[in-house]
Structure 1
Amino acid sequence: MRKSARIPSRRGAGELESEVLAALWGAERPLTTADVQHAVDRELAYNTVQTILSRLYEKGLVSRAAEGRRHLYRPNKGAEELAAEQMQALLRRGPNRQSVLQRFATSLSEEDAEALRAMLKLRRRRR
Structure 2
Amino acid sequence: MTRLGDLERAVMDVLWDVVPGTSDGVTVREVADALEGRELAYTTVMTVLDRLAGKGMVQREREGRAWRYRPAASREAHIAQLMLDALDLGGSRDAALVRFARSVTGTEAEVLRAALGSEAEAGIAGPRSADTATGTADDALTDRVDRPVGRRPAGEAAER
Q: Give the C-alpha shift of residue 125 in structure 1.
A: 2.2
State the one-letter code of the partner of 1:104: F
Question: What's the RMSD between the two structures over aligned residues?
Answer: 1.7
Shift of 1:119: 1.4
Pick the aligned partner of 2:33 from 29, 38, 41. Answer: 38
Match of 1:94 in 2: 90
Aligned length: 115
Q: Post-superposition shift, 1:82?
A: 1.5
Distance (whole Å) between structure 1 residues aligned to residue 33 and residue 90 of structure 2:
38
Q: Do the aligned partners of 1:94 and 1:100 also contact (CA within 8 Å) in 2?
A: no
Structure 1 residues 63-91: Cα deviation after superposition (integer angstroms, max 9, x where no partner): 11222222111111111111111211111
Report matched runs for 1:2-17 at 5 Å: 14-17=5-8
State the TM-score, normalized to the length of structure 2. 0.65
1:27 to 15, 19, 38: 19
Q: How many Å separate the matches in 1 of 2:47 and 2:101? A: 37
Flag the structure with larger Rg. 1
1:92-122 alpha-carbon deviations (Å, 9 max, x no partner): 1232212211221111011101111121122
Q: CA deviation at 1:124?
A: 1.6
Instruction: Tell me which amino acid in the other structure corresponds to 1:82.
Output: H
Q: Secondary structure at the match of 1:65?
A: strand
Give the gaps of 5 or more residues in structure 1: 1-12
Runs of at least 5 residues in structure 2 that lack an aligned partner in the other structure: 124-160
Q: Secondary structure at the match of 2:68?
A: strand
CA distance in structure 1 between the aligned counterparts of 2:120 and 2:62, rounded to whole angstroms:
45
Q: Secondary structure at the match of 1:93?
A: coil
Q: How does 1:51-90 map to 2 (within 5 A)?
A: 51-90=47-86
Q: TM (normalized to structure 1)?
A: 0.80
Q: Once the two structures are superposed, what CA deviation does each residue of 1:44-72 show, in whole Å capped at 9, x if it has no partner? A: 22122111101110001111122222211
**Identity between Structure 1 and Structure 2 (%):** 40
